[in-house]
């Protein structure tokens, strides 16, 4: 019949279900710990952005924005000059991009995907600057076509889903690889295995095994 002890079905389904629940619980605990570790790792590296005493030092947010501006000018001089001519300073938009790690510009799934790229790269905040440059370059024609201060500031401050994330990442990686090709070089092939030693022959011509 269907009667069994301990509230368990004859096929052990409840026991299996309890075990699955334990696995899920353990996985969630691990995810929480991993997420906290990743978050603290990122925050420990961006904390200088929020320290006003460091704003005008090499570690502060001003230096980051200046590096971004120099990078944009190097990658697209006409666009950088056009934005400068209409008084669109990088601080008007890049301050928030860099200091908040794109959390205001991208949807949450895209933020997580970008942060995954940042965490996977030991030069992660260099890559972030290239990502910012890619964002500007991907709307280059739109900015140049309008050539207007208010339009350009609005387009850059309210970027949102204007360009798909995969397009931005591809452009950023292309820019980054051009300046840091060693980071994209395929791993060196392992050295060839040495040839096996020749068989040692006994005096009567028989090989030792």
pLDDT given at position 205 = 52
* Residue 92: Cβ within 10 Å count: 15
Distance CA 204, CA 201 (A): 8
Q: Where are the domains of the chain?
A: 47-183
Per-residue DSSP letter, 5: G
Q: Among 5-9, 20-24, 54-58, 72-76, which is the least confidently predicted range?
A: 5-9
Overall size of the chain counted in residues:
209
Query: At which residue do the structure tokens 């299996």 appear?
Result: 16
Query: At which residue do the structure tokens 């030792």 appear?
Result: 208
- Whether residue 61 contacts residue 122, with contact meaning beta carbons closer than 8 Å, is answered with no
Local confidence band at 145 (pLDDT 50, 70, 90 cut-offs) = very high
Distance CA 144, CA 122 (A): 34
Residues β-bridged to residue 207: 201
Local confidence band at 82 (pLDDT 50, 70, 90 cut-offs) = very high
Q: How does the average pLDDT of the chain come out, rounded?
A: 80
Distance CA 50, CA 152 (A): 26
* Tens digits of residue pLDDT in 98-129: 988 898 999 989 998 998 888 777 776 789 99
* Tens digits of residue pLDDT in 14-23: 455 566 566 5
Over residues 122-140, mean pLDDT: 91
The CATH code for residues 47-183 is 1.10.472.80
Residues β-bridged to residue 201: 207
Q: End-to-end CA distance of the chain, in Å?
A: 66
* Tens digits of residue pLDDT in 153-198: 999 999 988 899 999 999 999 999 999 888 887 777 777 888 777 7
């Amino acid at each position: 019949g269907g009667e069994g002890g301990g509230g368990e079905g004859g096929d052990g389904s409840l026991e299996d279900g309890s075990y699955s629940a334990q696995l899920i619980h353990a996985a969630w605990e691990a995810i929480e710990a991993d997420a906290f570790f990743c978050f603290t790792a990122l925050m420990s590296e961006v904390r200088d952005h929020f320290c006003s005493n460091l704003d005008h030092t090499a570690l502060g947010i001003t230096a980051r924005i200046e590096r971004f501006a120099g990078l944009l000018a190097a990658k697209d001089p006409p666009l950088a000059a056009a934005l400068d001519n209409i008084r669109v300073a990088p601080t008007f938009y890049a301050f928030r991009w860099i200091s908040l790690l794109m959390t205001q510009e991208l949807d949450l799934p895209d933020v997580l995907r970008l942060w995954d790229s940042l965490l996977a790269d030991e030069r992660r905040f260099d890559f972030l600057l290239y990502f910012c440059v890619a964002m500007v370059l991907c709307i280059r024609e739109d900015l140049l076509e309008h050539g207007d201060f208010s339009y350009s500031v609005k387009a850059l401050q309210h970027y949102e889903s204007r360009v798909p994330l995969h397009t931005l990442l591809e452009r950023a990686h292309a820019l980054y690889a051009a300046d840091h090709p060693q980071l994209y070089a395929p791993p060196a092939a392992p050295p060839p295995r040495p040839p096996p030693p020749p068989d040692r022959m006994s005096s009567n011509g028989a090989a030792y095994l």
